[in-house]
Structure 1
Amino acid sequence: MRTRRIVASVATVSVLAVLVTVLPRMAEAAGNTLTVNVGTVVRPVTHVASGGLYAINTGNNPPLSQIYPLRLNHLTQPPPGGQQLGNGATQPCCDGLQVAGKATSGGAQQFFRMPDIYPNFPYRWVSWADWESKVRTMVQARLNATGATNVDGWELWNEPDWTWNTAAAGAFTAGWTRTHRLIRSLDTVTPIVGPSHSVYNHNWMVEFLTNAKNTNTVPDMIVWHELENDRYLDVAAHVADYRAIEQSLGISPRPISINEYASPSQVDIPSVAVHYMAVFERHGIRSAERAYWYEAGTLNGLLHNNQPTASYWAYKWYGDQSGNIVQTIPGSWLEGVASYDSTRRFVNVVLGGDSGNNTVRVNGLGALGSSVRVTLSRTNTTGRHTNQSAPVQVSSATYTVSGGSISVPVNNMDAWAAYQLLITPASGAATWQQRYEAENATVVNANRFASSSASNGHFVGQIDGTGDMRSNAFVDFLVNVPQTRAYTMNIGYANATGANATHGLAYNGGGWSTVTYPNTGTWGAFGASVNVSVNLNAGWNMIRLAKGAPGYAGGTGYAELDAITLS
């Protein structure tokens, strides 16, 4: 977390500039190739790396207009009544319940970091009576917030490998068990996440999980931090090691969240962001959040004076990805994350990490036709306190597709900059996005599945939960339309209940209407659709299809969602 490393970096400010010039490691030799295999699907696009710790505050910090394009996936925010004063702040900020509506509008779920109820970091332990009283107060405040639907985890402690006061509080494993049991006595629904070590450590993880299994307090999601320089190199090994420990102990697989990533010397280098994006997508991370090295409410330094910095544009290109993440094979330090949207017929590659003249080889483009238009853009490398109003377009050219492939030269690369290759058919490219896949949307208390008949190969099912704000199941579509007007929304679905099923429909915080899905006969088989009318504003809108949600009594039967199409 913040203060420990901020103090260190302030103390060494005279050498930090030197560190930045060599970290992260990047190739100086040119002639490398990043390979993109469009036909090899990794997973649906969910913008795994688009998150942050203390990334949003109340009011206009940051403005929603800057949040929307990033398609925020996840946040870690202070708990109800949080008192943490991070990075020189003079008053607490960013209370997770106070920002819940704003976060939901941007599509993000959030963890509540419970020890940030304390004002100091490292935390100053008082007593078990004090801590348990605080836990009860935080949990009750959340239970009272019946309109907050985006709280998907209690983070019981933060970086216990060095912030837990063993002398005063006893062993962390025992403290975990005691706190876990207290929360479960108050809230049996909200997931519990941990252990939130500051670094991944095999022995610590074995000790923690062994105790957690023996005491029936295994976290619902596993969390650790990746904050050391070049730590993205180790993500694959850490994930593999964790999965092996999990299997050896007979623990069912848990989602993994890296809810702090990137060191102070990395966080403002756009190409480093690309490396993290790529490895998190490649190795099955559920969510990941930029570390909190700066003032809160700046999207972790992506904004300066509420305007984009260079790194913002790397995340904006990543936010533009839709459809499926597809395979990328790095060449030396030339790394990238790529998506293919089969409905809109475009490939979006975000890359960086090498200098000089390099190449991107893209295979599997046959569906885009015999020729494609390739637009190459780049970020600047100007750091935290310099704004970049827009990406720099480097080139735009038409390429002939040969054997389903093209090779695009990317010359004079800056190893710190991020680049985007946007590949579309040479003619007939969509002017605005009309189809939105359910699996790319914000999916709450439901799950993503594969189906050959589904648009883009995936759908959302098990949208079954009703009851209260913790268990309601819904899908939130963040859409961007060109005009304020009524749109016809076509909903692709499946319903094998043998009778009509219904969902609630609401958008932009408005009232509820009912969508009825006639029986289709088979689960996971798509082709059926229904039409409804929605009145949308020019620009960004949030559309919710819900089995259950605050203010809505609940749908009937069950239905699976494939995609929505606006026309």
Structure 2
Amino acid sequence: MPKPTLRTAIAVSALAATALVALPLHSAQAAGSTLVVDAAVPFRPVTHAASGGLYALAENNRPADSLLLPIKMHTLTQPPPRVGQAPNGQPPGGDTLLVAPQADRVGAAQVIRMPDIYRDFPYRWVGWNDWFAKVDQMVNDRLAATNVSNVTAYEIWNEPDWTWDTAAAGDFNTGWTRTVQRIRTRDAVTPVAGPGYAVWNVNWMRAFLTNARNTNTLPDIVVWHELGHTTPHIAANVAAYRSLEASLGISPRRIFINEYAERDEIDVPGRVTNYIAKLERAGVWAADRAFWYEYGTVNGLTHNNQPTASWWLYKWYGDMAGNMVRTIPRAQTGLDGFASYDSTRKRVDVVFGDESGTNSVRVTGLAGLGSTVRVRLESTPGSGRFTNVSGPTTLANTTYTVTNGQITVPVPNMSATASYHLVVEPTSGVPSYQQRYEAENASVFRAERFSAGSASNGGYVGFIDNTGDPRTASYVDFVVNVPTARSYTMTIGYANGTGATATHGLAYNGGAWSTVSYPPTAGWGQFGSTVSTTVGLRAGYNVIRLAKGSPFFAGGTGYAELDYLQLT
């Protein structure tokens, strides 16, 4: 990564070149705003898509697992094996293969940023022979790590719109093609990600995709960055990409914003809340917090291995389950938020911020929660990256009458730098801990999420397969949280349309494997059948893996689709 001042200058220059205006850091003055949440309008499963980080982890388990499990990390962009990159003057670190065991323990996928084999940023191009030798070595190292199964892509280059040496290396699009073709001589299955532009530019993307389509080197994951106070443009940029993709006859790709939030935003919970809200509504596959300071802290979520204020924002995000539901801000700047509804717990979570003064949150679609609801409101401050915060501040804990299926909660004295969390639950019958975990909310590796009317919460995971290769075998990791250390009955909702018993491997917290058997059911996507087993869990967070194929597991048989698991 560049020094912050250089990065800011480049980003603003590029934004101006694409006719986008770099907005100043939002100075909230529009008190009286209302954020509308419609709990009855889901738009996709909770996947914690924006809970990711560039250079988030460092060797020697930094930060600790106990700080990563609650925030349900989705993706990491890490340097390659034999990393040379010295970000912001730090020694090289964060080697993908060295941090892989910890990333695996917390259910996070990894993308290898290949150009970080070079020490300097902007990268200093040496020559094609040097680059190909480095590509060969990085791919060979990854292939030799046969127990690493959470690498989800190679990122070919980073910010080529200003770091690619066209004078020495030639046209970037041609260079992309040459590099992908070189990788495919050794690894024909690991996805590739790119182009990794520092900003969205439809003309650059059109030229890139056209060349990649014509040379059969299309990225499996499309990458660009959202920096420079670009939150108002995120939805439009994603929509523009989808339109371009369709116009070129390219099948839909996963969109990965693997750097979001500027240097003066990344440690401001209110601003980051605004980013997450817009990234979720835009439907990106994943998004990573941008890197501005030191690695191994998830970019400011931890300090001295303890939470900062921003960590609590991601903890609230990590607590979400069920489906993301519609939020409607008054404008594209200022007050915004993201929300979820978990139908099994009958719980609505809303995280909001980026506004000062007295504002409100109107939550609709609450008819199923009863005539009265319990409402908890809490906040986390904008206290920066060097101040540890032991917990959020409770602002209110009260009961509201539901009128016409809705409530309006006033939030006085908001700070634009802070983030706020609203929890709406029934006044009775709320379980003491979350018991049901939907498969579509889990960490899903090389399988697919689907919808079905008979599925719990409407979603499930299918296409769970085994190839005998850790790069392509399928598994699902459930991060669960239980109150006490003891044995729990684990019930699994599933479907199996093969007509014969299927099996998965079961392991938790990296322990020994056992086998789960799934007798045949009425058909694919038809749920209601369950199997049960017993698991011995520790108090707090645990990771339960159900695998068709996984390192240290020979592989399951037949096929089964996963609906949920429940712990009682």
- Per the normalisation by structure 2, the TM-score is 0.96
Aligned position for 2:318: 319
How many matched pairs?
553
Q: In 2, Cα distance between the equivalents of 1:32 and 1:167?
A: 51
TM-align CA RMSD: 1.2
Q: What SS does the corresponding residue of 1:565 show, helix, strand or coil?
A: strand
Which consecutive aligned stretches of 4+ in structure 1 deviate over 4 angstroms post-superposition? Answer: 6-10
- Give the corresponding residue for 1:171: 171
Superposed CA deviations along residues 368-387 of structure 1, whole A, max 9, x for unmatched, are 11111100001111112222
State the secondary structure of the residue aligned to 1:162. Answer: helix
Amino acid at match of 2:258: N
Q: For residues 8 and 201 of structure 2, what CA distance do their matches in structure 1 show?
A: 24
User: What SS does the aligned partner of 1:112 have?
Assistant: strand
> Are the counterparts in 2 of residues 193 and 221 from structure 1 also a CA contact under 8 Å?
yes
* Aligned partners of 2:46 and 2:441 also within 8 Å: yes
Give the distance between the partners of 1:297 and 1:280, measured in 2 at CA.
24
- Asked if 1:380 corresponds to 2:384, the answer is no
Equivalences for 1:390-409 in 2 at 5 Å?
390-409=391-410
2:296 corresponds in structure 1 to 297
1:436 maps to 2:442: no
Distance 2:190 2:478 in 1: 23
What are the residue-to-residue correspondences of 1:364-513 with 2, within 5 Å? 364-513=365-514
Amino acid in structure 2 at the alignment position of 1:509: G
* Pairwise CA distance, 1:467: 1.4
2:236 paired residue number: 237
Equivalent residues of 2:496, 2:523 under 8 A apart = yes
* 1:106-162 deviation digits (Å, cap 9, x = unpaired): 111010000000111111111111110111110011111111111000000000111
Q: How does 1:82-231 map to 2 (within 5 A)?
A: 82-89=83-90, 91-229=91-229, 231=230
| Pair 1:6–1:484, CA change in 2 (3 A) | farther
- Give, in whole Å, the separation in 2 of the partners of 1:313 and 1:513: 35
Q: How does 1:25-64 map to 2 (within 5 A)?
A: 25-64=26-65
SS in 2 for 1:245: helix
Distance 1:465 1:524 in 2: 20
Displacement of 1:71 in angstroms is 0.4
Secondary structure at the aligned position of 1:196 is classed as strand
- Separation of aligned partners in 1, 2:6 and 2:235: 30
- Partner Cα distance (1:144, 1:542) in 2: 26
Equivalent position SS for 2:449: strand
SS in 2 for 1:239: helix
1:362 partner letter: V
Quote how far apart the aligned CAs of 1:7 are: 4.8
- Give 1:538's aligned residue: 539
Say whether residues 1:564 and 2:565 are aligned partners.
yes
Q: Which amino acid aligns with 2:280?
A: E
- Cα deviation, residue 9, structure 1: 7.0
Q: Distance in 2 between matches of 1:303 and 1:530?
A: 40
Cα distance in 1 for residues equivalent to 2:62 and 2:518: 40
Unmatched tracts of structure 2, length 5 or more: 10-22
Task: Decide whether the 8 Å contact of 1:23 with 1:266 is kept in 2.
Answer: no
Alignment match, 1:254: 253
Distance 1:159 1:524 in 2: 42
Cα deviations by residue, 1:7-59 (Å, 9 ceiling, x for unpaired): 5679xxxxxxxxxxx94224312111111101101100000110000001122
Contact between 1:6 and 1:293, CA under 8 Å: does it hold in 2?
no
Partner of 2:17: none
Deviations along 1:216-246, one digit per CA (max 9) or x if unpaired, are 11100100011112x1111111111111111
1:342-357 paired onto structure 2 within 5 Å: 342-357=343-358
Aligned mates of 2:27, 2:308 — CA distance in 1: 22
2:7 and 2:131 mapped to 1: Cα distance?
A: 29
Verify the 8 A CA contact 2:325 2:339 in the aligned structure 1.
yes
Structure 1: which 5+ runs fail to align? 11-21
- Cα deviation for residue 67 of structure 1 reads 0.8
Normalised by the size of structure 1, how large is the TM-score? 0.96
Give the Cα separation in 1 of the matches to 2:307 and 2:509: 25
Provide the secondary structure at the position in 1 that maps to 2:47.
Answer: coil
**Residue type matched to 2:265 in 1?**
Q
Residue 344 of structure 1 and its aligned partner are, at CA, apart by 1.0
Contact preservation (8 Å) 1:466, 1:549: no
Percent identity at matched positions? Answer: 57
2:139 and 2:5 map into 1 onto residues whose CA distance is 30
Question: Contact 1:6–1:87 at 8 Å: present in 2 too?
Answer: no
Instruction: Give the distance between the partners of 2:347 and 2:242, measured in 1 at CA.
Output: 34
Q: How far 1:465 sits from its partner (Å)?
A: 2.8
Question: What secondary structure is seen at the aligned counterpart in 1 of 2:185?
Answer: helix
Cα distance in 2 for residues equivalent to 1:359 and 1:9: 34
Give the superposition deviation at 1:203.
Answer: 1.0
Letter in 1 for 2:503: T
Change (3 A) 1:551 1:544: same
Structure 2 contact 371–401 (Cα < 8 Å) conserved: yes
Amino acid at match of 2:184: R
Task: Tell me which residue corresponds to 1:74.
Answer: 75
Answer whether contact 2:61 2:102 (CA < 8 A) is retained.
no
Distance across 1 between alignment mates of 2:386 and 2:548: 45
Q: Which amino acid in the other structure matches residue 286 of structure 2?
A: S
SS in 2 for 1:268: coil
The CA deviation at 1:483 is 1.5
Other-structure match for 1:18: none
